Structure 1
Amino acid sequence: MSKQWAALVLVLIQLHCGDFCPDLCQCFSAEKVVCSDESLKALPFNISSQVRELIVVTSGISFLSGSSFRENLNLTKLVVLNSLVKTISHDAFERLQELEELEISGTYYWLSFDVQTFSSLAKLTRLLLNNNKISALEAGVFHSLHELEMLQLRGNMLSYLPRHLFHRLHNLQELDLSFNHISSISVDVFQNNSLLRSLSLQANSISQLPAGIFSHLDHLEELNLRSNCLSNLSAETFPSGVRKLILKKNALAQLPSNVFHKLHHLTYLDLSQNQLSEVPSDLFQNLISLKKIDLSENRITALPGSVFNGLFSLKAIHLQKNKLSSLEANLLKDQHDLEQLYLSTNSLQSVPQDFFNDLDFQSVVQLHGNPWRCDCGLQYLSEWLKYNGRNVEDLTRVYCDAPEVIRGEHLVTVDKEQLVCRNTSSSGFQGSSVPNVTEILVDGVDDGAIRCSLRDVKGVTSLHCKCTKCTSEKFHVLFEFADKQKSVFSNCSVPEYSSNGTSFH
């Protein structure tokens, strides 16, 4: 629809509704009125009895009482946002007994109300009191709200929750207490909220969870404990039905191996931004439904090879920003359907042979921010990147950190011939260190039957190989000069001797 047609339709609607639309308000239907003007000092009094929704945004209203609404109103929804309301009287909503949804959020001053303020709202199912600087609540303030399904108290200044605050809210399904100053919670505060499905305690100051605090929440699916001060958890902390568990940004340094064992329905687990340095090998045992696990921004130095065993539903593993220096070869053994593997910003120098072979070709991998050592130990990764580089995020940021001669080069641009091990070796490969001797890995020889080294003596470079088993290997030597010209010398072979130390020079 063009802007001209939209404007015409708006005018026609407003003309149609003009006989009941209050001043400083807009009426887009017979049932919905929206008022937004800082000069509005009181709720409009001449509202039609047909109106069901009244929304007031950015007004100068500072007080709500029983006289704020005329009789015979049939509002089912009232929203007051960004107002100057300081006080709500005990009888403010007595004439709104049909109200099902009430929101008063974003007040500029400290909002206060009476313990009886909501007592007449027997049909209320949704109550939102966010960002109002509420500092305390009386125990009985919600006792009449037997039909309440959602309660939001987000972004206030609550430091304490009375034990019986929610005890009459038997139908409560969603409770948001995030961004307050709560430091402790009584063990029975949620005792009568067995239908609760979503509970957020994010961004408080909780340091300890009483044993059994969530034990009655049999229907709880999402529990958000992000940004608190939790330093320990017990095996009985979480209800078995939880599906999404957020423990991000706490003070967890270690976890009991059985803390999650009952969570068979868990699909999302966030342990990022904690202080974990190790992970028990059976920590995630029994999490058969787990799809995403986030362990990023911890202090993990190594992971047991079996830590993800049996987690066949995993789609994402986030391990970025840890201190991983090595990876077990079987870490991804069961991860055939993995879609995200984030290993960036660790201390990895190489990956085990065939490490990524179990991944699907659709998997997205992060490898940047590691000090990759571009020698013979990285030949597998280099080869894997040739065929799977499109699956690596920020591939151009995957650099060689060593050896020094190729430091800073993109791994994908390094030739395979450059990925050699240059370890100082000794004469005959035993004994003390000898200068100007470089050991060379012989590709295709897995049992050490042939070991070779380069020796540079007075400007003359010689190739020394030692054979410990019968062999008929032939040697092809490739010379590449500074001008990129290449020369191949292949007129040499090893005699078929059988000894314990036949040397070829």
Structure 2
Amino acid sequence: MGKLRILIFWVGACAAVDPRIVEQEKCTLNDRRVSIYPECMQGSNLILWCDYSNYTRIPDPDNIYRSKSCRNTLKLFVNDSCISELTEDQLKKYGNIEALDCGRNKIRILRRSVFRNNPNLKEIDLSRNYIKHIEHGTFSGLSRLEFISMSSNLLDEIVESTFGELDSLQRLSLHNNFITLLKNGTFRYLRHLKVLDLTGNEISIIEDGAFDGLDELEMLHLDGNKITGLKISILESLRNLKVLTLSHNYLTSFPPFQRTYFPHLHTLDVSRNRISAIEDSNLATLPKLQNLKLRDNELRSMQDDVFSTNEELRMVDLSGNNLTEIGRHMFANSCHLEELNLSDNRLKVFYLDWYLSVIGNGHPLGNDIGRNQWECTCDIYHLHKMLRYKKVWRQTFPSDCYAGLDNERQPTKCENAPLHLTPSYHCKKKTRTKSSKRYDYEAAYDVSAVRKQMELTTISSSTESLPTMNVSTIVMLVAFITALLAAATMVVTVIYLRRRHGMRHEKQRTSETGREDSIYIADPTSA
């Protein structure tokens, strides 16, 4: 057995090929790739796969099979092949094609009117090539085109005419290129574009009017660039924007949203920048903001009124900053808060007010407040008393904060201490959605009501911590028990049959032995 394992190991080691060698030898005489599809394979719905081939051009649909033509192909895949150039002649026989996927080839340039004979194209994926230049009019005539992916190429410039006359385009991916500048009117003619991905470029300058014409844009991704500042005038035309990501840049100040109203923006990611301060006016024009990521910046303190107008907040990530102080009433109006990450800061004083909405909305365990410098206060004791999850945050707070928690009979200084919770007038009459729980915020108005609410929360949390079983779990458990009983019955039956068969065989053998003895005695000549 040991020799067999060694043999299998050496066979696998010899079969493994360094991916760098594969890439260098690709499309050469030493190409050692495993050809998954030796020839093109045609699937259902008129799909043609020619991936992992040595094709240097788009295959002729009339010469792929001898008995039939593939001109009616709707989706053509020629990924990871040896195509070095796309021409109009190569694609003219695919008049009905709707999706073209030629990723991971060796294409270096896109010629003018290369898709002239393919007016039905809806999706084009040319990612992971060597494209450095796109000629004017490359995509002309494609009035139905909805998706273009030019990611992981060598593009360093996008001009106004590059994607002109594409009224139906909805998604454009340009991530992982070398674009350094976005000029005025670059995307002017993409009126129906909804998703623009510019992640992983080298953009450092965005001119005014660069996003003009993008009236229906909903998602803008600018992560991983070299942006040091963002003028609000650049984003003024994006009134329908819902998601804006600016992580991994060099922003030193929070984007000045206070000058323009963004009624639909619900996700904002400015993590991993150099932002040192944030004011209440920065978020005042974002009434629908739900997800805010500010992790790994240089924030030091935040005041009470920062989120005063953001009542729809669901998730706030402030981890990895230099926070030493947070306003006690900062989340007083955040009635829908579900996740609050304060880990990896320098906070010392913990306030139970921060997590009232989180606990009330039923998400006490989806938060992280670790790796701070917490001081032992009564709010920590009441937090554990409320949640009854004593082991969840045991490494978060100092050990002396657990006095009285392990032994419920032991009195503590915080047992009868009054709670000074934030009276949230905005959350008093608000309710959560149907799928979420409702928390009684009226309990924040007097200490007796708070203690009563804490007792109810303790009981409910302790019952919720028990494993619950729905119908599918019960059915699976019954099926498992039934299968176990059937297996046991089968084993018992087999054992019984084997014993019975053995007894019968023994009895038959005994009778045959007696018969042979009688024959032996009756035949005197056998002696």
The question of a shared fold, defined as TM-score above 0.5 by the shorter chain, is answered with: yes
Alignment of 1:327-366 (within 5 A): 327-352=326-351, 354-361=353-360, 362-363=362-363, 364-366=366-368
Alignment of 1:205-224 (within 5 A): 205-224=202-221
Look up the SS of the partner of 1:195 in the other structure: coil
The answer on 1:175 being equivalent to 2:172 is yes
Alignment of 1:28-67 (within 5 A): 38=35, 52-64=46-58
What is the CA-CA distance between 1:381 and the residue it aligns to? 2.2
Match of 1:370? 372
Look up the SS of the partner of 1:199 in the other structure: strand
Match of 1:73? 71
Query: When the two structures are aligned, how many residues end up with a matched partner?
Result: 377
Q: Which runs of 5+ in 1 are unaligned?
A: 1-35, 401-405, 421-441, 447-505
The answer on whether the counterparts of 2:185 and 2:212 sit within 8 Å (CA) in structure 1 is: no
The answer on 1:148 being equivalent to 2:148 is no
The answer on 1:381 being equivalent to 2:375 is no
The answer on whether the counterparts of 1:43 and 1:69 sit within 8 Å (CA) in structure 2 is: no
* Greater displacement, 177-186 / 112-121: 112-121
Query: Distance between the aligned counterparts of 1:284 and 1:205, measured in 2?
Result: 27
Query: Distance between the aligned counterparts of 2:349 and 2:337, measured in 1?
Result: 21
Match of 1:237? 234
Query: Distance between the aligned counterparts of 1:419 and 1:368, measured in 2?
Result: 24
Match of 2:288? 289
The answer on whether the counterparts of 1:397 and 1:410 sit within 8 Å (CA) in structure 2 is: no
What is the CA-CA distance between 1:175 and the residue it aligns to? 0.4
Match of 1:158? 155
The answer on whether the counterparts of 1:398 and 1:411 sit within 8 Å (CA) in structure 2 is: no
Residues 130, 393 of structure 1: CA spacing in aligned structure 2 closer, same or farther, 3 A cutoff? farther
The answer on 1:201 being equivalent to 2:198 is yes
Match of 1:304? 303
Report Cα offsets for 1:281-317 as digits up to 9, x if no partner: 2111131211111111111111121111121211111
Look up the SS of the partner of 1:269 in the other structure: strand
What is the CA-CA distance between 1:68 and the residue it aligns to? 7.2
The answer on whether the counterparts of 1:366 and 1:394 sit within 8 Å (CA) in structure 2 is: no
Residues 67, 445 of structure 1: CA spacing in aligned structure 2 closer, same or farther, 3 A cutoff? closer
Report Cα offsets for 1:14-54 as digits up to 9, x if no partner: xxxxxxxxxxxxxxxxxxxxxx962868757xx79x97110
What is the CA-CA distance between 1:351 and the residue it aligns to? 2.2
Match of 1:104? 102
Aligned with 1:130 (options 112, 121, 127): 127
Higher strand share: 1
Report Cα offsets for 1:218-246 as digits up to 9, x if no partner: 11111111111111111222211001111
1:90 partner letter: E
The answer on whether the counterparts of 1:43 and 1:68 sit within 8 Å (CA) in structure 2 is: no
Residues 249, 281 of structure 1: CA spacing in aligned structure 2 closer, same or farther, 3 A cutoff? same
Q: Which runs of 5+ in 2 are unaligned?
A: 1-32, 421-527
Report Cα offsets for 1:53-80 as digits up to 9, x if no partner: 1022212222236677676711111011
Higher helix share: 2
What is the CA-CA distance between 1:251 and the residue it aligns to? 0.7
The answer on whether the counterparts of 1:85 and 1:111 sit within 8 Å (CA) in structure 2 is: no
Identity, % of aligned pairs? 22
Residues 304, 275 of structure 1: CA spacing in aligned structure 2 closer, same or farther, 3 A cutoff? same
Look up the SS of the partner of 1:64 in the other structure: coil
Query: Distance between the aligned counterparts of 2:112 and 2:287, measured in 1?
Result: 46
RMSD value, Cα: 3.2
Query: Distance between the aligned counterparts of 2:139 and 2:391, measured in 1?
Result: 50
Report Cα offsets for 1:379-426 as digits up to 9, x if no partner: 212222221264x995233032xxxxx689899769998889xxxxxx
1:141 partner letter: T
For normalisation by structure 1, the TM-score amounts to 0.68
What is the CA-CA distance between 1:349 and the residue it aligns to? 0.8
2:280 partner letter: S
The answer on whether the counterparts of 2:204 and 2:226 sit within 8 Å (CA) in structure 1 is: yes
Look up the SS of the partner of 2:49 in the other structure: strand
Query: Distance between the aligned counterparts of 1:244 and 1:445, measured in 2?
Result: 39
Query: Distance between the aligned counterparts of 1:393 and 1:281, measured in 2?
Result: 36
Residues 39, 350 of structure 1: CA spacing in aligned structure 2 closer, same or farther, 3 A cutoff? closer
